[in-house]
Amino acid sequence: MADRPGSEPGSPDAGRPNILFVFVDNLGYGELGCYGGGEVRGVPTPNIDRLAAEGMRLTNMNMEAQCTPSRSAVMTGRLPIRSGTVRIPLPGQPSGLTRWEITLAELLSSQGYRCGHYGKWHLGDSPGRQPHERGFDEWWGLTETHDSSLWSTEAGYDPAVVPPEQLLEGRRGEPSAPVGDYDVAQRALFDAEGFGRGEDFMRRCVSEGQPFFLYLPLAFPHFPTLPHPAYAGVTGLGDFADAFRETDDRVGRLVGVLDELDIAGDTLVIFTSDNGAEDVLPWRGWTGPWGGSYFTAMEGSLRVPFIARWPGRIPAGRSSNELAHATDIFTTLVRAAGAEIPDDRPIDGIDLMPWLEGASDSSGRESVLCFVADRLHAVKWRNWKLHFIWQEYMGDPPIELSIPRAFNLYDDPRERHDVFLPSNTWVQRPVMAAVTEFWDSVAAHPLIPVGAEDPYVPPAA
């Protein structure tokens, strides 16, 4: 790689990578070719598959059950129940992360990284909680979610009562400004705009000798799953398939820019999803071998594709079924950038880099606590899953179980056959040890209430 003038201690020249993080929205485990989908679903995904072949593919990456909690976990390294970000925000209450939380972007920025965000934030819309106020130097996109693009298509919608959602852009030190209404026409253009801005951001950072963190939280495939007009009809299989083709093409182009700029070996690329498959018709996705839907603790909700590529650091062509969780992304990226993990609060994420680099066969994680909103629905421990609250699909009522249901996920990936009684009650011991450890930490560091306002100050335990 060519020398960069003015590199900071946190730059790739000091062994710390640029970071390109593509975060798709509701992509099912089984959709990509490298996860058993691709042409099986009618749309090959050669560019994303190539990314997996050149890096490491995880088969047991676990996210949270909804958009906001997953994004919170990635940005803070903390389980969302700690941060008061347990569900998609309700209108009329303070939403997103309190200013007390320390974000991934803030820590990377402290190491000299330039941070850009282009896409959906969903972690706060009020002043002080938007991306350019939480560590990003610049941003464009939505503070909320993509459902709002459908409002203007519905009979009875009154923009005088509920104004259209706005696309926004902002820079550090300046207020965000609206750049247009977000409707179905803009939904179809959303990802093209994000990729375009992201490419421009990378080029500017390289030309100025700045290491970068590029965060691209895409619209794809969140409903309404609409392709850019240039891709409409290309597959002959409808909007969903056309949008898949578009996304694979755009990922391929963006990764190609790293080669063009001669920074591929200095850039850690992550491609993953915020939770399992879209479950709203006619845009329903595919969870592969896993059962259930998002907004639950089923595997189809939690398990997502995850690909990490860093040429020369992460060996190519590897895969692993070791446990990993959204919070681990935070810790891994903070450590890769040379920043310090906050020590004044519980951080639930662990550093996956030794495992990704091949120095260890273990991820270092044995359990995942599966909260849905503020209730502990299940716990994963090794290849086991113990459900305390049973809910298979988003619209099902959650059922409190008097006796837990246990599943060996090697034998029963769709969680159909409860094997808790009589011979597997032993699984409750390590599961409850993980639960107890979590609640002990809460006693020392109380949970932030949902809707907490700023300035937030943690109470004394």
Cα–Cα dist 28/274, whole Å:
10
Does some domain include residue 9? no
pLDDT in tens, 24-42: 999 999 999 999 999 999 9
Does some domain include residue 6? no
Does some domain include residue 41? yes
pLDDT in tens, 447-458: 999 999 999 999
Based on the structure, what is the number of domains in the chain? 2
Are 307 and 215 in the same domain?
yes
pLDDT exceeds 90 at position 2: no
Counted residue by residue, the chain has a size of: 461
Where do runs of H (alpha helix) occur along 58-146?
67-76, 80-83, 104-110
Domain stop point among 343, 365, 387? 365
The dihedral of CA 97, 102, 106, 108: what is its sign?
negative
Are 322 and 419 in the same domain?
no
Residue in the structure block whose two tokens are 């820590």: 107
Measure CA of the first residue to CA of the last residue in the chain; give whole Å.
Answer: 50
Are 112 and 159 in the same domain?
yes
Does some domain include residue 421? yes
Are 358 and 381 in the same domain?
no
Query: What is the pLDDT averaged over residues 221-233?
Result: 98
- 89: pLDDT confidence band, cut at 50, 70 and 90? confident
Domain stop point among 342, 365, 388? 365
pLDDT in tens, 39-53: 999 999 999 999 999
Q: Which residue has the higher pLDDT, 199 or 89?
A: 199
Mean per-residue pLDDT over the chain, rounded: 95
Cα–Cα dist 73/66, whole Å:
11
For residue 364, the one-letter residue type is G
pLDDT given at position 191: 98
Instruction: Answer whether 59's CB lies under 8 Å from 65's CB.
Output: no
- 14: pLDDT confidence band, cut at 50, 70 and 90? low
- What is the phi-psi region of residue 35: left when phi exceeds 0, alpha when psi lies from -120 to 50, beta otherwise? alpha
Does some domain include residue 450? no
Annotate 326-345 with DSSP letters as a single string: HHHHHHHHHHHTTPPPPSSS
pLDDT exceeds 50 at position 225: yes
Are 312 and 409 in the same domain?
no
Are 372 and 350 in the same domain?
no
The dihedrals phi and psi of 131, each to the nearest 5 degrees, come to: -55, -40
Are 249 and 228 in the same domain?
yes
- 180: pLDDT confidence band, cut at 50, 70 and 90? very high
Cα–Cα dist 85/100, whole Å:
13
Are 219 and 241 in the same domain?
yes
pLDDT given at position 93: 75
Instruction: Answer whether 22's CB lies under 8 Å from 216's CB.
Output: yes
Are 204 and 327 in the same domain?
yes
pLDDT exceeds 80 at position 11: no
pLDDT exceeds 90 at position 88: no
- Point out the residues that are catalytic: 67, 122
Does some domain include residue 206? yes
Where do runs of H (alpha helix) occur along 307-406?
326-336, 353-356
pLDDT given at position 460: 76
Does some domain include residue 460? no
Are 264 and 413 in the same domain?
no
Cα–Cα dist 37/44, whole Å:
8
Q: What is the CATH number of the domain that holds 60?
A: 3.40.720.10
pLDDT in tens, 157-175: 999 999 999 999 999 999 9
Instruction: Answer whether 115's CB lies under 8 Å from 132's CB.
Output: no
pLDDT in tens, 239-250: 999 999 999 999
- 12: pLDDT confidence band, cut at 50, 70 and 90? low
pLDDT exceeds 60 at position 19: yes
pLDDT exceeds 70 at position 10: no
Domain stop point among 365, 381, 411? 365
Pick from 81-95, 421-435, 447-461: least confident = 81-95
pLDDT given at position 13: 55
The pLDDT > 70 percentage for the chain reads: 97
Q: Which residue has the higher pLDDT, 87 or 75?
A: 75
Query: What is the pLDDT averaged over residues 62-78?
Result: 98
Q: What is the CATH number of the domain that holds 417?
A: 3.30.1120.10
pLDDT in tens, 362-379: 999 999 999 999 999 999
Q: Which residue has the higher pLDDT, 88 or 63?
A: 63
Does some domain include residue 393? yes
Are 334 and 405 in the same domain?
no
pLDDT in tens, 99-157: 999 999 999 999 999 999 999 999 999 999 999 999 999 999 999 999 999 999 999 99
Tokens of 238: 């409808």
Cα–Cα dist 230/227, whole Å:
8
Residue in the structure block whose two tokens are 């993509």: 146
| Structural domain that includes position 435 | 368-444
Are 327 and 350 in the same domain?
yes
Angle value at C-alpha 61, between 56 and 67, nearest 5 degrees: 125
The pLDDT > 90 percentage for the chain reads: 94
Burial of 46 (0-12, 13-18, 19+ CB in 10 A): middle
pLDDT exceeds 80 at position 4: no
